[in-house]
Amino acid sequence: MTKPFRIGLAWHSTRSSNLGVGALTVGNMALASAAAMRVGLDAQFVVFSPRETGPPYVEDVETRVIDGRYMTSRKGFLADVGNLDIMLDIGAGDSFTDIYPRKRFLYLWGTKALTVARSVPLIFSPQTIGPFTKVFETRLAAWALNRAAAVFARDPLSFAALKDLAPRAPGFQVIDVAFALPFTAQPKAEEKVRVGLNISGLLYNRGYSGGNEFGIEVDYRALNHLLIERFAAMPGVEVHLVGHVFAPNQPRDDDGATADALAAQYPGLVRAPHFTTPGEAKSYISGLDFLVGGRMHATIAAYSSGVPVVPISYSRKFEGLFGGLGYKWLVPVRGLSTEAAADYVIDAFERRAELATDIGKGLKVVEQGLETYIAELAMHFAAAAARRP
């Protein structure tokens, strides 16, 4: 019997309350499985993630919880990574940066350093790279990037950051793996237009601290109230509140609590279900006619299922990703007033056929990016398998 090819998945999650992280995990597993199959390998996954308490939406995988004791124990991460054939580290999608506390960065960097120390090939799966502005973190980041077998940036801005940090690193610009998230397409309503509002609890509550640390210029709360009122007043339009992060133990970050409050304030809105898997969320979104989204992976779910979408950006990861697809339809972090942003979204809704055409063009870029990633993974998988004793 052929020995399974053991693939580590660092900073993925099988049960995160943030379905965007789940979408990364399920999408990356699908792409890695396709790459392994292409070179005749039987993929077996080990997921390394922070402690999560939600129900699992990925079965039949080994899981490890990253914490201080596990990372420093000889029988912990170092031992487990030594039993792998290769490590795919996705950095939770957007966490390989110094904009978060140093402790968090050191955990992110530590998985990479210990993987390199065990001579296990390290792959940076498609993710945001940077920004880096602090000398200490910048040097550590460059060290890890230069020792990777391959680095995949999911957008042009991240690829430029990679080339600035580590110009000799084997880098590729591809696309977010969540575009590969499987789903079941839902039928459209025949006699109504379904408009989805994916309202981020985090942005609605002005960030983790309440001080708008993301620096967005629109009043996000006021913007969504305007959109609810304007869409609800349109004949034949049905407004759906669509959450993508369900974290009752983190009320400032919980889309579900925000949706419940708005549904109570505005009778007649449709409160979408509490999704338990990222595939459920994407399937639901596929049945909408239009989506306005504050969570990036909710907007990716819409885009990749052909639903006209207007993302509300709160960081450069939005501009980088959608800019790389030639998709101009988003509310930027800065540059629009709240009223102007509402007008922009309504205009996009009226022109949603044009948005759908632009999505059709961009999906060709998505397909090419995913194929590049699969082909490169297949090559690295084959090389890693050949190095086995």
Q: Which helix (H) or strand (E) element contains residue 350?
A: helix 338-350
- DSSP string over 68-81: HHHHH-TTTHHHHH
- DSSP string over 261-311: HHHHHSTT-EE----SSHHHHHHHHHT-SEEEESSHHHHHHHHHTT--EEE
Percent of the chain whose predicted confidence (pLDDT) is above 90: 87
Q: Give the angle subtended at the CA of 282 by the CAs of 206 and 312, to the nearest 5°.
A: 30
Which pLDDT belongs to residue 196?
98
Check whether 214 has a pLDDT greater than 80: no
Which pLDDT belongs to residue 250?
85
Check whether 208 has a pLDDT greater than 90: no
- DSSP string over 3-63: PPEEEEEET--SS-SBHHHHHHHHHHHHHHHHHHHHTT--EEEEEEE----SPPSS-S-EE
Convert the pLDDT of each residue in 187-206 to its tens digit.
999 999 999 999 999 999 98
Convert the pLDDT of each residue in 112-148 to its tens digit.
999 999 999 999 999 999 999 999 999 999 999 999 9
User: Rounded mean pLDDT of 51-71?
Assistant: 90
- List Cβ neighbours of 355 (8 Å cut-off, separation of 6 or more): 308, 309, 310, 329, 348
Which pLDDT belongs to residue 22?
95
> Please, are residues 257 and 248 in contact by the beta-carbon 8 Å criterion?
yes
Convert the pLDDT of each residue in 264-309 to its tens digit.
999 999 999 999 999 999 999 999 999 999 999 999 999 999 999 9
pTM of the complete model: 0.94
Closest CA to 172 of 162, 186, 183: 162
**Residue tagged 């988003």 (tokens):** 330
Q: For 129, how many CA atoms within 13 A lie in the half-sphere containing its CB?
A: 31
Check whether 41 has a pLDDT greater than 70: yes
Break the chain into its structural domains and give their ranges.
5-177+366-386, 193-350
Q: What is the CATH number of domain 5-177+366-386?
A: 3.40.50.11930
Instruction: Record the tokens describing residue 192, joined without a space.
Output: 């109504």
User: Rounded mean pLDDT of 364-382?
Assistant: 98
Angle subtended by helix axes 278-286 and 19-38, to nearest 10: 100
Convert the pLDDT of each residue in 326-349 to its tens digit.
999 999 988 999 999 999 999 999
User: Rounded mean pLDDT of 142-163?
Assistant: 97
Which pLDDT belongs to residue 180?
97
Convert the pLDDT of each residue in 85-121 to its tens digit.
999 999 999 999 998 889 999 999 999 999 999 999 9
Handedness of CA 29, 35, 38, 41 (dihedral sign): negative
CATH number of this structure's domain 193-350, picked from the four choices 1.10.3720.10, 3.40.50.620, 3.30.428.10, 3.40.50.2000: 3.40.50.2000
Calculate the average pLDDT of the chain: 95
Q: For 174, how many CA atoms within 13 A lie in the half-sphere containing its CB?
A: 28
Same fold, 5-177+366-386 and 193-350: yes
Check whether 1 has a pLDDT greater than 60: no
Check whether 160 has a pLDDT greater than 60: yes
Q: Give the angle subtended at the CA of 186 by the CAs of 274 and 350, to the nearest 5°.
A: 95
> Please, are residues 358 and 243 in contact by the beta-carbon 8 Å criterion?
no
